[in-house]
Chain A
Amino acid sequence: MHPTSEADLADAIATAKGALRIQGGATRDIGAPVIGTALSTQGLDGIVDYEPGALTLVARAGTPLAQIEAALAAEGQRLPFEPMDHRPVLGTKGTPTIGGVVAANVSGPRRVQVGACRDFLLGARFVDGAGRVLKNGGRVMKNVTGYDLVKLMAGSFGTLGVITEVSFKVLPIPETQVTLAFSGHDPARAVAAMAAALSSPFEVSGAAWVQGQTLLRLEGMERSVAYRVGALAERLKPYGQAEHIQGTAAGAIWQTVRDAHALVGCETLWRVSLKPSDAPAFLAAVDPDHQLKCQIDWGGGLIWLGAESAENAADTHASLRGEIASRGGHVTLLKAPTALRTSLAVFQPEPPAAAALARALRQRFDPKAILNPGLMG
């Protein structure tokens, strides 16, 4: 199904006889496999309103992300949360849409400083499982009118409703960026260096560890960045001499971090969200022999782990879940052969009270249980 208007989409859902597999550009095949009729939002296309002077943008869900980023860039602005492109690691094709970004609450390295997709989402229109067209939030930056269902829709993977339109707070693109790169760090040293950087007043907008290098990004006005780079390098002297990477070269590095290039080609992929300072001990426990490919982002708060083959995936999965249980946080099985994504819980099972609330909410938003049923467990 490929509706070209919100009304048609609502009609398709209201009259649906069975399960629907909701997709935007189908580039983020995440979650337990859903069997059902494909319902695409790509026909709902176009930027509805963009006010650079108010830092707000409204677009229909099927609008290609690239189109939005180009429109923003023309005014020297951007989506601050730096949404990742999942195509390289997931091996998918297609055109990422803004609705898909919201449905999966997709954020990149800058999340550690400015917040996630959900933090910049001001409003949403969506169609619930009964076919009702609903709206929540708006297009203004501060809004506490009624419950914030906008946050609830972000990251709900189409299981509460099909998003038809979204509005965002956007921010200016800074004049310049510089990245400090420290070599020869193991995870423990990297996380310590990143904590020191993020606890400084120098506004670090990216803190990642990839292939033995700790990367710290500073963005802003020319003179300001120059000052902060010097001050930060001085403060981080105990962690070694940093190489300074400027301009487009720095931009390219952060794109590879954002898209987790270090894990491209892995057949199984996990995403671990945890307390940043727990990252080194977590890694030491689950992968003492460095068998897995690994990238750390968000100063330690996000670990990507990948295995080239899916052979021991079930065991690794169990050990990751076991280790996170004692620490707090969660593990998502982001990529695996279909059979494994069916048999293993892709999303971290929640404690009984939270799971009961989630079930009851889905029942209210999707009484016929037709919207991506079972995708989130």
Chain B
Amino acid sequence: MEMPAPNPAVLALKPRLVARLQEVLAPDAVIHDEAETRAYECDALTAYRCPPLCAVLPSTTQQVSDVLRICHEMGVPVVPRGSGTSLAGGALPTADSVILGVARMNDVLEVDYDNRFVRVQSGRTNLSVTGAVEADGFFYAPDPSSQLACAISGNIAMNSGGAHCLKYGVTTNNLLGVTMVLMDGTVLELGGAHMDAPGLDFLGVICGSEGQLGVVTEATLRILPKPEGARPVLMGYDSNEVAGQVVSDIIKAGVLPVAIEFMDRPCIRATEAFAKAGYPDCEALLIVEVEGSDDEISEQLALITDIARRHNPVELREAADEDQARRIWLGRKSAFGAMGQINDYMCLDGTIPVSQLPYVLRRIGEMSQQYGLGVGNVFHAGDGNMHPLILFDANKPGDLERCEAFGADILRLCVEVGGCLTGEHGVGIEKRDLMVDQFAPDDLDIQMAVKDVFDPKWLLNPAKVFPLAASEPRRQAQIAAE
């Protein structure tokens, strides 16, 4: 993955830049020592690293505005960062950029149960948003698997999903408003406690814009009353086709589970060896979870297990109590860790139409043979969001490149069958150069035109999302102007 060469003129600005940033921030909020900036050299896509020029940790919206105004005036690129859990390189710096971390901005500003929203600073972690309201019977629905660590700012940047979005939607469906700072320092309030936009739906385009349009400092999030209970059922099948058919039949039957998770044999074996959840050794495993009161759960599960039985499962296990429910989820939740025990892995995130599931899994299996790299599949089957985990050895020369080529082929396959490159992780640098496989040049141009409007100098996270060749004229125009 290529990154643009740092601009020497910007590198030379470092002493003056640091001095100006120190004027508006607390002394410990400007990190410029070369050893210390290393802490910000990568996010969760650890194969790529580059320490930034410096990192800043503002505490208020005003400070964010000051920082951006200074960088804007001096022509310095800014890379916003939440908790740095992006799997797509969304927070990867360049040597000539300032990392703007919102981690110190993590307060709950307002909780309103009558209107069912909570307003938080954007550095607050996803799980701690729920933490702030759960004692009163509420929760925040989007639940990316990194929810213990990931920040709301990053959730908004990537429009994060999670296991339960079949029922509750993703971040954009649960975001009511933001306070956002534009690259020139302008503070903008969008949305709020009301439910729709007065004019153009800016909130909709900001969510998922990967930190390229502005820096979100506060967010108004919809919270929901917690369901009375939830219970999963586990089912195993001896073919991916049959499991795919079960998913489709459940959806068509009119029940809407909160989650339908799918694991294939390589993944089942790896998690079994690692977490010992007691999963059956079969080709495909489904975990289906429903919510409600005890009676409601039983009613839904009866319908679901009926469908499951019609397809001759090799195993069908309903959770009878909390402990069994925990054990059913245990393997799924340890899947990534389990794969990591075997080897380094790259986690993909393409989405496909649900009907293409068996075909796509078969093709992935064939490609795995061709590339000589193992792959396990674990994903949200209800919405077609796949997470193939490709195993490779980072210490073996050429393996990473082979793995990336394999991954790119899988993502092209997703597009080919009518899906997309990324369902919830974002494009970042990882899928940047594949955008041409999903979009025509004009489709990319109109997206870049939106960035032109919000960030005319292309200083915010500039080397992400769009293929470098496509964004180069716009980025170069800025450098030439400085």
Residues of A within 8 A of B (CB): 51-56, 75-76, 105, 107, 111-112, 115-116, 118-119, 128, 132-136, 138-152, 154-156, 160, 171-175, 195, 198-201, 220-221, 223-224, 227-228, 231, 273-277, 298, 301-302, 328-330, 332, 347-348, 350-351, 353-354, 357-358, 360-361, 364-365, 376-377
Contact = CB atoms under 8 A, between A and B. Distances in A.
Contact of B384 (A142, A149, A350): A142
B445 to A, nearest CB: 8
A147 B205 contact: yes
A227 B384 CA distance: 33
A318 to B, nearest CB: 17
B438 interface: yes
Contact of A51 (B189, B354, B439): B354
Contact of B200 (A141, A195, A358): A358
A148 B205 contact: yes
6 contacts: A142-B380, A148-B204, A152-B202, A174-B254, A201-B137, A221-B303
Interface string B269-298: 000000000000000000000001101100
B199 A224 contact: no
B252 A75 contact: yes
B201 A275 contact: no
Contacts of A139: 353, 418
Contact of B254 (A172, A201, A348, A365): A172
B450 interface: yes
Given A136-B443, A199-B114, A223 B452 contact: no
A140 B454 CA distance: 28
A248 B465 CA distance: 49
Q: Which range contains the number of B residues in contact with the other chain? A: 35 or more
Contacts of B165: 142
Nearest to A175: B254
A172 B186 CA distance: 44
B172 interface: yes
B423 A143 contact: yes
Interface string B435-455: 100111011101101111110
Contacts, number: 263
A217 B450 CA distance: 40
A140 B351 contact: yes
A53 B196 contact: no
A56 B251 CA distance: 11
B267 interface: no
Interface in B427-482: 427, 431, 435, 438-440, 442-444, 446-447, 449-454, 465
A224 B446 contact: no
Given A132-B446, A376-B199, 12 more contacts: A140-B420, A141-B383, A144-B425, A145-B422, A146-B443, A146-B465, A147-B208, A147-B451, A151-B204, A152-B450, A155-B201, A377-B199
Interface of B: 112-116, 137-138, 158-159, 161, 165-166, 169-170, 172-173, 182, 186-190, 192-205, 207-209, 225-228, 247-249, 251-256, 292-293, 295-296, 299-300, 303, 351-355, 380, 382-385, 418-427, 431, 435, 438-440, 442-444, 446-447, 449-454, 465
Query: Which interface residue of B196, B225, B255, B423 has the most chain A CB atoms within 10 A?
Result: B196
Nearest to B434: A145
Nearest to A161: B446
List the 8 closest pairs (A to B, CB-CB), nearest first.
Answer: A151-B204, A53-B248, A142-B423, A330-B198, A275-B193, A172-B254, A141-B383, A54-B354
Contacts of A149: 205, 446-447, 450
Contact of B299 (A133, A224, A302): A224
A116 B443 CA distance: 25
A147 B201 contact: no
B383 A140 contact: yes
A223 B208 contact: no
Contacts of A377: 199
B183 to A, nearest CB: 12
Contacts of A135: 439-440, 443
A209 B323 CA distance: 44
A261 to B, nearest CB: 21
Given A145-B435, A221-B299, A118 B201 contact: yes
A198 B115 CA distance: 9
Given A52-B252, A54-B355, A330-B194, A144 B423 contact: yes
A76 B198 CA distance: 34
Nearest to B435: A146
A106 to B, nearest CB: 11
Contacts of A277: 112, 114-115
Nearest to B298: A223
Contacts of A111: 195
A172 B439 contact: no
Nearest to A277: B114
A62 to B, nearest CB: 22
Contact of B208 (A148, A198, A201, A350): A148
Nearest to A123: B420
A301 B426 CA distance: 32
Nearest to B244: A53
A211 B258 CA distance: 36
A335 B73 CA distance: 46
Contacts of B161: 142
Given A146-B465, A224-B292, A274-B194, A141 B351 contact: yes
A119 B424 contact: no
Contacts of B182: 353
A135 B53 CA distance: 37
Contact of A347 (B158, B199, B226, B420): B199
Contacts of A146: 427, 435, 438-439, 443-444, 447, 465
Contacts of B173: 115, 119
Nearest to B188: A353
